[in-house]
Amino acid sequence: MRVLVASVTAVVAALALSSCTGDAPADQPSGVSGPSGRTSAPRLGQAPTVTLSPAPEPPPPAPARFRAARAIADVRLLAGIIGPRLATAPAYRAAGRTVSGRLDGLGYDVRRQWFRVPAGDSWGVPVAAGRSFNVVATPAGFDPGRPHLLVGAHLDTVAVAPGAEDNASGVAVLLEAARLATEQGTRLPVVLVAFGAEEPRGPGDDEHHVGSRHYVRHMPPAQRDALRAMVSLDRVGVGRDVPVCTGPLSPPDVRQALLRDARRVAVPAHPCENTASDHWSFEKAGFAVARLGSTSYAEYHSAADRPRVVDPRQLTRTGRLLWAWLERPGQPR
């Protein structure tokens, strides 16, 4: 009987020892993860090996998107709050401060380019001579002697018009393009200009496009050689497709490139001929140009040209087309 009890006791002790140690080899105590995925400890005198998971890949950059809500807010600010912006009036200077502040906040180097504006007739309203200015914004580190592009939109209005479509719409798209260029980069550096005194003060070129004519006239020779193309944004807030215009002097390259980009990003667009915006000042000086916008609308040059006239969907079409032309090749969409 004593022999049987001793045998049972030995078996129980062996089973207890087995349940405590598991299957781990004698030289691999528990406590550190081993190759098999079980916990183990290092050999005596050996530091534990820690395996880290690979660092996650950084997310791809967010696609460049035109913000229609921001653009229409800018239209409401310029046309609904500031209102008519005759180039020589205090309201124009207020609008200039607003646009300058926005561009400065995006990191651009911003300056005012002053010039004289003649007396004349602003769409039926006699107006005195005075001074106005262009708001010129260049990216940080800009070299005017290296290849670059220029995008402009006139900031002024005729005397009686709040100028929502003509041309807060163009300025709003320009400001969105400025943001996208800062966040995403562009294929070439882009100069942005809010032109003063685009609206006529009488018949003929000498009393029209005063701010852009002044800009062209004062471009240094190196900058003239380096400017590859100019696009004017003028009346881009109505219609269902985007007019892509030039005058009769410009080579067709810029217009053709914009029309190709319109097809690429599925923006409806059509070609046209037009000399009634700031692109004409550059075109007469021999530059390749285009104008986006110029769809007819009932409220043109009137007190009824208020923010309700402007369609955010048309701002988006124009903004997407302009950005397709400016963006770096291969940017995510």
Q: Work out the percent of the chain whose per-residue pLDDT is above 90.
A: 78
Give, for 128, the enclosing helix (H) or strand (E). Answer: none
Lowest mean pLDDT among 7-11, 167-171, 235-239: 7-11
Task: Please state, in angstroms and rounded to a whole number, the distance separating the CA atoms of residues 126 and 120.
Answer: 6
* pLDDT reported for residue 52: 60
Burial class of residue 113 in the structure, from the number of CB atoms within 10 Å of its CB (0-12 exposed, 13-18 middle, 19+ buried): middle
Torsion sign (Cα): 280, 224, 180, 269: positive
Least confident of 47-56, 212-221, 298-307: 47-56
Model confidence at 137, pLDDT cuts 50, 70, 90, reads: very high
Over 50: is that where the pLDDT of 5 sits? no
pLDDT > 70 fraction of the chain, expressed in percent and rounded: 80
Per-residue confidence (pLDDT) for residue 191, from 0 to 100: 98
pLDDT of residue 256: 98
Token pair 């294929």 is found at 187
User: Does the pLDDT at position 38 exceed 60?
Assistant: no
pTM, full prediction: 0.82
Helix axes 68-75, 169-184, angle to 10 degrees: 140
Q: Is the pLDDT of residue 87 over 60?
A: yes
Domain boundaries, given as residue ranges, for the chain: 68-326
The half-sphere exposure of 111 on its side-chain side, counting CA atoms within 13 A, is 8
**Res 329: pLDDT:** 81
The mean per-residue pLDDT over the stretch 316-323 comes to 98
Query: Is pLDDT at 133 greater than 60 in this prediction?
Result: yes
Q: Which CATH number fits domain 68-326: 3.40.50.720, 3.40.630.10, 3.40.50.2300, 3.90.740.10?
A: 3.40.630.10
